[in-house]
Amino acid sequence: MSPEARIIPIDAAANRLSPSKAARLVGNTGPQPAARRSTKVASAPPAGEATPPVEPPSDSELSALPDELRATLEQVWEFIERRRAGDYAVDEFGFDAELNDHVLMAILRPLYRSWFRVESSGLENVPATTGALVVANHSGTVAFDAMMTQVALLDDHPAHRHLRMLGANLVFQTPFLGELARKAGHTLACTPDAERLLGRGEVVGVWPEGFKGIGKPFSDRYKLQRFGRGGFVAAALRMKAPIIPTAIVGAEEIYPMIANAKTVARLLGLPYFPITPTFPMLGPLGLVPLPSKWFIHFGDPIPTDQYPDGAADDPMLVFNLTDQVREQIQQSLYRLLMKRPSVFG
Amino acid sequence: MRGNMGRIVLVTGASRYLGSRIAENLAGDPGVDRVIGVDVVPPVVPIPGIDFIRADIRNPVIAKVMGDARVDTVVHMGVIATPKQAGGRSTMKEINVIGTMQLLAACQKTPSLQSLVVKSTSGVYGCGAKDPAMFTEDMEPKHAPTAGWPKDSSEVEGYVRGFARRRPDVAVTTFRFANFMGRHIDTAMSAYFSLPVIPTVLGYDARLQFIHVDDGLEILRRAVHARQVGTFNVAGDGVMTLSQAIRLSGHLRLALPEFLLTPVGRSLSSAGLLDFSYEQVRFITYGRVLDTSLVSRTFDYRPDRTTQEAFEDFLARGEEMSDVA
């Protein structure tokens, strides 16, 4: 068990079902077989954890175990029970913080620590309690860069901040992906949602290169693509939230895209269909990302609160700020690349 | 003329559950002089304290009723949600759209009228992947409803806006309600959550909001007195996901791919088990969340029950039934 692996919430007693509710649920329905999603939760234990029991361990079984492990198992069981009873809260965006922190992030954490060996820096540039807009470069065919940034802010930031990303509507149309994205706290890239999140003091993540960035050929690695329409800058200006230009090095090499099967992409309704040295040639094995060495640097924040109200409606200012953000990320990328001894460093 | 003293309120759709409840509440309200309930069918149980007139709002006779009674407030509850209630989709559409047009024509010809309160639905926002996380009242639908009750409601709102332009002296208040929940109300959603095995769309988990019946009735009652112009979202605080609601209900969830769900829904509908239209399938795929800050600011109103509490009150219905049995 790796020492970093987080386990299920500690204050189990506080989260226990209220007796009346538990009684009602049980009395009402009797024991239920686990529903689909519960099964999913149950079968996705935090990394490095012992497989959670599917039946509550009996006292005699438990007493044979060391105290620490027993406490852990009890917490895991508590967690599964609570999930199965529906006794948890989601916010308006569908963000299921408990599921995100203890299951989804637990799956990504070994990738972050051991596979990509991500080194994060500049976390002091991300505010601890107020809203901010993290803007980063996008690459790697599959959006691991976004997910790793999320882990960086949750685990490495002293205030353990949740990164609320803005995604393309394709994400929310796609079965499973859309559901997971909502549960992990992400939402559609649109002005009302960006402003609502910033207004609530959340850290919002945008990848303004979009599919142009993530689906670019390997030969274009670390060359920033065009930055959308600057909608993210306007949102930050309106909410007076600082923009944090963020550079991610390493994601470009996880799935080096040597060609794009455009016809297949069109048939599947996807923005691109990657051909990498291993995919689709090696089949499922080709889905394993290459273990490149990663750096994530959160750069100096660009403040937006010194501009007057209505500055978001000044297209020249928005364009200039967009360029400034882009330039800062590009410079930061070059610096990080110089620092990295080799791709697999 | 009468200022703020006693109102004469006409309630349409007074024989159905919500219409009869609001009529009854208004009849017990000291600020209301007289309540006239109108519907095509008489109420199952007579509503105490109201004058019931059996009339069709599609018929011009309604104008005469309103003029004679010097009605000053109309509460329009007469938009039907499911074809089953009306006895067919075409009748439903006629009652909803033509009925509203006739009612508004009558309203226009009633000089005593000062206020119109319309019960609409959040269904007018449609639902889909391109929706913002929360709808505010000024947002245009990204996936406009194409059929059924939400479509009718969009058209009704259109006619109501037209009326508001023609009679600027009348305060028009429109409420877009989230799905009503409670232990006594029967809706498409309550029928859905009563299924022993609840079909859902594989790979999607809709975000849902409910409004408890009592809270919905309270805002309608306040609107009769407040005479606020505007359109307002109404929903209980908080959000639940569909999977969470099913877990709370203790029923089984059966996730089906979308292309299978539509035929399953159709066979359930034709068996008369529930209404499971295309719009309904979209709703359980994507769901919808409303921003309710405008209604709380304007009416200083916060529903007593959250979304989850409204849903739990609906679940308590099962207990009541088993108590009887």
Query: Which string of DSSP letters, residue by residue, matches A146-188?
Result: HHHHHHIIIIISTT-PPEEEEE-HHHHHSTTHHHHHHHTT-EE
- Is the pLDDT at A26 greater than 50? The verdict is no
The pLDDT of residue A46:
43
- Is the pLDDT at B201 greater than 60? The verdict is yes
Percent of chain A with pLDDT over 90: 70
Q: Are A161 and A233 in contact (CB under 8 A)?
A: no
The pLDDT of residue A105:
96
Q: Could you give the CA distance from residue B274 to residue A78 in angstroms, rounded to a whole number?
A: 36
Q: How confident is the model at residue A21 (pLDDT cuts 50, 70, 90)?
A: very low
Chain segment A185-205, per-residue pLDDT in tens:
999 999 999 999 999 999 999
Least confident range of A3-17, A103-117, B119-133, B213-227: A3-17
Is A275 inside any structural domain?
A: no
Number of domains in chain A: 2
Q: Tell the residue number behind the tokens 């990504």, with chain if given.
A: A108
- Is the pLDDT at A52 greater than 80? The verdict is no
Shortest alpha-carbon distance between residue B244 and chain A (Å): 5
Widest pairwise Cα distance in chain A: 72
| CB burial string A138-147: b at 16+ within 10 A, e below | bbbbebbbbb
Looking at the fold, whether A57 and A80 belong to one and the same domain comes out as yes
Q: Give phi and psi for B132, each to the nearest 5.
A: -70, 165
Looking at the fold, whether A68 and A115 belong to one and the same domain comes out as no
The pLDDT of residue B37:
95
Q: Could you give the CA distance from residue A248 to residue A337 in angstroms, rounded to a whole number?
A: 10
Chain A residues with CB under 8 Å of B139 CB are 192
Q: How confident is the model at residue B322 (pLDDT cuts 50, 70, 90)?
A: low
Q: Are B32 and B26 in contact (CB under 8 A)?
A: yes
Least confident range of A16-30, B52-66, B205-219: A16-30
Chain B residues with CB under 8 Å of A179 CB are 203-205
Shortest alpha-carbon distance between residue A343 and chain B (Å): 36
Percent of chain B with pLDDT over 70: 94
Q: Could you give the CA distance from residue A242 to residue A229 in angstroms, rounded to a whole number?
A: 18
Q: Could you give the CA distance from residue B242 to residue B209 in angstroms, rounded to a whole number?
A: 10
Q: Are B191 and B273 in contact (CB under 8 A)?
A: yes
Q: How confident is the model at residue B318 (pLDDT cuts 50, 70, 90)?
A: confident
Token pair, residue A244, equals 């944090």
Question: Which domain covers residue A40, as residue numbers?
Answer: 12-84
Token pair, residue A21, equals 């509710």
Looking at the fold, whether A231 and A103 belong to one and the same domain comes out as yes
Residue B325 forms contact with A (CB below 8 Å): no
Residues 6 or more apart in contact with residue A153 via CB below 8 angstroms = A123, A126, A134, A160, A161, A162, A163, A203
Looking at the fold, whether A230 and A185 belong to one and the same domain comes out as yes
Shortest alpha-carbon distance between residue B115 and chain A (Å): 32
- Single residue among A30, A57, A84 that ends a domain in this structure: A84
Looking at the fold, whether A214 and A306 belong to one and the same domain comes out as yes
Chain A's closest residue to B321, CA to CA, is: A28
Q: Could you give the CA distance from residue B72 to residue A182 in angstroms, rounded to a whole number?
A: 47
Token pair, residue B215, equals 């809270």
In angstroms, the Cα distances linking B38 to A77, B58, B59, B225 are 56, 11, 12, 20
CB contact under 8 A, A183 and B129: no
Is A53 inside any structural domain?
A: yes
Identify which of A85, A173, A187 has the shortest CB distance to residue B247.
A85
Rg over CA atoms, chain B = 19
- Is the pLDDT at B56 greater than 50? The verdict is yes
Looking at the fold, whether A42 and A103 belong to one and the same domain comes out as no
The pLDDT of residue B44:
86
Residues 6 or more apart in contact with residue B72 via CB below 8 angstroms = B2, B7, B8, B9, B112, B113, B114, B115
More confident residue, B287 or A48: B287
Q: Are B282 and B128 in contact (CB under 8 A)?
A: yes
Token pair, residue B174, equals 């429109």
Shortest alpha-carbon distance between residue A194 and chain B (Å): 10
Token pair, residue A315, equals 């297209």
Looking at the fold, whether A74 and A128 belong to one and the same domain comes out as no
Does the bond joining A280 to the residue before it have cis omega, within 30 degrees of 0? yes
Looking at the fold, whether A156 and A239 belong to one and the same domain comes out as yes
Shortest alpha-carbon distance between residue B129 and chain A (Å): 5
Chain B's closest residue to A22, CA to CA, is: B248
Is A157 inside any structural domain?
A: yes
Average pLDDT of chain A?
84
Give the CA-trace dihedral at B134, B136, B139, B140, to 10 degrees.
70
What's the whole-number mean pLDDT along residues B284-312? 96
Is A89 inside any structural domain?
A: no
Q: Are A75 and A10 in contact (CB under 8 A)?
A: yes
- Is the pLDDT at B303 greater than 90? The verdict is yes
Looking at the fold, whether A127 and A181 belong to one and the same domain comes out as yes
CB contact under 8 A, B241 and A94: yes
Chain A's closest residue to B282, CA to CA, is: A173
Chain segment A278-316, per-residue pLDDT in tens:
888 888 888 899 999 999 999 999 999 999 999 999 999
The pLDDT of residue A310:
92
Average pLDDT of chain B?
90
Give, as one character, the DSSP assignment of residue B234.
E
Least confident range of A148-157, A248-257, A317-326, B2-11: B2-11
Q: Tell the residue number behind the tokens 């003329």, with chain if given.
A: B1
CB contact under 8 A, B132 and A173: no
ipTM: 0.89
- Is the pLDDT at A49 greater than 50? The verdict is no
- Single residue among A42, A62, A84 that ends a domain in this structure: A84
Looking at the fold, whether A178 and A146 belong to one and the same domain comes out as yes
Instruction: Please state whether A103 falls in left (phi above 0), alpha (psi between -120 and 50) or beta.
Output: alpha
Looking at the fold, whether A171 and A302 belong to one and the same domain comes out as yes
Q: How confident is the model at residue B287 (pLDDT cuts 50, 70, 90)?
A: very high
| CB burial string A239-269: b at 16+ within 10 A, e below | bbbbbbbbbbbbbbbbbbbeebeeeeeeeee
Chain B residues with CB under 8 Å of A196 CB are 133-134
Is A175 inside any structural domain?
A: yes
The pLDDT of residue B273:
63
Residue B195 forms contact with A (CB below 8 Å): no
The pLDDT of residue B258:
84
Identify which of B130, B131, B133 has the shortest CB distance to residue A196.
B133
CB contact under 8 A, A190 and B207: no
In angstroms, the Cα distances linking B15 to A67, A139, B60 are 64, 61, 20
- Single residue among A33, A50, A84 that ends a domain in this structure: A84
Is A35 inside any structural domain?
A: yes
- Is the pLDDT at B285 greater than 70? The verdict is yes
Residue B241 forms contact with A (CB below 8 Å): yes
Shortest alpha-carbon distance between residue A268 and chain B (Å): 17
Q: Are B136 and B191 in contact (CB under 8 A)?
A: no
Give, as one character, the DSSP assignment of residue A273.
-
- Is the pLDDT at A15 greater than 60? The verdict is no
The pLDDT of residue A4:
46
Beta bridge partners of A187: A166
| CB burial string A178-205: b at 16+ within 10 A, e below | bbbbbbbbbbbbbebbbbbbbeeebbbb
Is A1 inside any structural domain?
A: no
The pLDDT of residue B255:
93
Rg over CA atoms, chain A = 22
Q: First-to-last CA distance in chain B?
A: 55
Q: Are B177 and B211 in contact (CB under 8 A)?
A: yes
Interface residues of chain A, partner chain B, Cβ below 8 Å: 24-25, 27-29, 32-33, 35-38, 83-86, 88-94, 96, 169, 172-179, 182-183, 187-188, 190, 192-193, 196
Looking at the fold, whether A250 and A188 belong to one and the same domain comes out as yes
Is A57 inside any structural domain?
A: yes
Beta strands in chain A (DSSP E): 119-121, 132-136, 163-167, 187-188, 203-206, 243-249, 259-260, 274-275, 295-298
Chain segment B218-272, per-residue pLDDT in tens:
999 999 999 999 999 999 999 999 999 999 999 999 999 888 887 877 777 776 6
Number of residues assigned to chain A: 345
